[in-house]
Each structure stands twice: as C-alpha cells, then as structure tokens.
C-alpha cells in the first residue's frame, strides 16, 4: 500500500467509523491493513474501499480488525492482585466512594473485574465505574454481560465464576447484579473531552497502537482527569518513559500516581 492508497483508506475509515488513523502508528497500521486487504478477495485498496460501501458484514469485520478488541477478565492476573491487595484498599482509605474509569474497555471484562473486586472490598458501597470504548459492537456485548467464551473467563476463580456467571451452552453470561454496576459509554480517546475527578483510570493495551504524539496527549489528559493521589493503571507490556516529566510517580509495575501537591510541598520543607 503506498502513501496515496493509505490516504484514501484513511478517509474512508474516518467517514465510516469516525476513527482518525492519524493518531495510530502509521507504519504498523499500513502493514496491518496491507496484509488484511491482500487476504480479502479484492485486487486493490480502491476496490476494497468500494466493497465497504455496500457490504455491512465487511464493515463489521474491518471495525473488529482495526480495534483489536481482545480482552479477558483479570487480564494479567498478577497486576489485578496488586490492584486488589494494595491499590484499591489504599484508595478506599481516602475515599469511601470511588470514581473509576476503564478507558478502552472492549467487551467489559476489565471494568467488570473491577466491579467484582469492589464487591468483595466494599460490598455495600455504590462506586461509580465508567467504561468507554470507540467500538460500538464491543460495547453492546459488554452491556449484555456476554456471551464470554472460555478464554475470556479463564482467570476467573471458580468461586467467583459460580457466584456471578451463568453458563449457557458453553458460553458465560455475567449476572445483572454486576452488569448494573458499570456505566458504558461510547468515547474516542483521541477527542479532547474527558471527564475528570477520577480516583483510578485503567487504560491497558489501548495506547500501544497509538503514535507517540497521541499517546503523550492521552497520558497528559489522564493526568488532568485524575484527582490528587489518583492512580493510572496501564498494560503489562506498556511503559511510560516520560511519566515523571508529566508529573506521575511510579508506585508499582503498571501503576502511576498523580501526587498530591500539598503533601509534595510539605515533604520539600
């Protein structure tokens, strides 16, 4: 795919899905799209784009391909362990009702894992868990609480599986009690509007596909969206090289704190 063809498909994707590929790593995206279109039965990018106009099924497939929406409950279980034993209890000591955002939540496995953990840590509290994604199909599955396949629930302990899930014909459905704890919304992280006042923001395996510039903007926006002492939880394969320059303090692998300016000032004297 040459640069003109990439420009052409970028416009098509923006018009069809409101996704701006300028925010994603262009070399990686060109390579992926090139392979994807070669595997389709169309001879070139222009014909492929034309086929998108009247083939709903192909549009759905392309959206799935672009958003890479794989997820699972308790993904990277050791980090969920840190979240459950250290991060959330510390946040709960400061604030009994938490405001949490799972950004790029895919099929809901991530925010639902948080909701299940909070059921255990503070069973009678009505926390707010906002979960957003650019992919409306993923959000539909999340809002329905399934169906989840065996891979998506493989890290869920049996006791939790029995308590909160129902298995129908080999597929797992989450109980309403947990579904209703999460508020799902469509949101594009590359847009400027972010809510704020969050105690915890979870954004894992989302910005790895973004350009360095877009990633930096998003992490800065997360910093602004967090309360003082709030935590940003990132993916296991991600690093935030410029975390300190943005103002974050690393508290553990994958966890970054927005320090409270008052205590930072006191510590300086």
Ligand X SMILES: C[S@@+](CC[C@H](N)C(=O)[O-])C[C@H]1O[C@@H](n2cnc3c(N)ncnc32)[C@H](O)[C@@H]1O
Which stretches of the chain bind ligand X, using CB under 6 A?
Answer: 67-71, 75, 104-106, 110, 133-135, 138, 188-190, 204-206, 235
Nearer to ligand X, 134 or 200 (CB): 134
Closest listed residue to residue 14, CA positions, set 51, 54, 49 = 49
Nearer to ligand X, 83 or 105 (CB): 105
Nearer to ligand X, 67 or 99 (CB): 67
**DSSP class of 71:** -
Closest listed residue to residue 199, CA positions, set 114, 109, 72 = 114
Minimum distance of ligand X from residue 15's CB (angstroms): 16
174 Cβ neighbours under 8 A, 6+ residues apart: 108, 112, 145, 146, 148, 164, 165
Minimum distance of ligand X from residue 243's CB (angstroms): 19
Minimum distance of ligand X from residue 43's CB (angstroms): 29
Nearer to ligand X, 134 or 179 (CB): 134
Minimum distance of ligand X from residue 113's CB (angstroms): 9
d(CA 150, CA 172): 8
Nearer to ligand X, 87 or 206 (CB): 206
Closest listed residue to residue 104, CA positions, set 129, 71, 132, 73 = 132
Minimum distance of ligand X from residue 54's CB (angstroms): 24
d(CA 54, CA 76): 40
Cα distance from N-terminal residue to C-terminal residue, the chain: 59
- Going from the C-alpha of 245 to that of each of 80, 223, 240, 242, 261, the distances in angstroms are 26, 11, 10, 5, 15
Nearer to ligand X, 162 or 237 (CB): 237
Minimum distance of ligand X from residue 80's CB (angstroms): 11
């Amino acid at each position: 795919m040459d640069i003109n063809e990439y420009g052409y498909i970028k416009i098509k994707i923006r018009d069809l899905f409101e996704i701006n590929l300028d925010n994603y790593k262009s070399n990686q995206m060109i390579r992926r799209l090139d392979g994807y279109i070669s595997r389709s039965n169309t001879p070139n990018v222009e014909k492929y784009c034309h086929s998108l106009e009247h083939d709903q099924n192909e549009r759905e497939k392309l959206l799935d391909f672009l958003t890479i929406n794989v997820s699972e409950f308790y993904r990277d279980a050791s980090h969920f362990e840190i979240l459950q034993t250290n991060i959330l209890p510390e946040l709960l000591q400061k604030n009994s009702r938490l405001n949490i955002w799972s950004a790029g939540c895919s099929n809901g496995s991530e925010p639902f894992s948080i909701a299940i953990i909070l059921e255990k840590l503070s069973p009678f509290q009505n926390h707010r868990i906002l979960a957003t994604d650019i992919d409306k199909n993923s959000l539909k599955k999340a809002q329905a609480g399934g169906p989840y396949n065996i891979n998506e629930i493989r890290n869920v302990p049996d006791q939790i599986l029995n308590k909160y899930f129902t298995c129908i014909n080999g597929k797992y459905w989450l109980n309403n009690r947990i579904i209703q704890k999460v508020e799902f919304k469509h949101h594009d992280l590359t847009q400027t509007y972010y809510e704020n006042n969050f105690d915890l923001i979870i954004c894992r395996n989302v910005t790895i596909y973004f350009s360095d510039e877009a990633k930096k903007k998003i992490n800065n926006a997360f910093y602004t969206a967090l309360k003082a002492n709030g935590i940003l939880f990132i993916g296991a394969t991600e690093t935030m090289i410029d975390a300190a320059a943005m103002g974050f303090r690393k508290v553990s692998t994958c966890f970054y704190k927005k320090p409270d300016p008052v205590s930072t000032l006191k510590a300086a004297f």
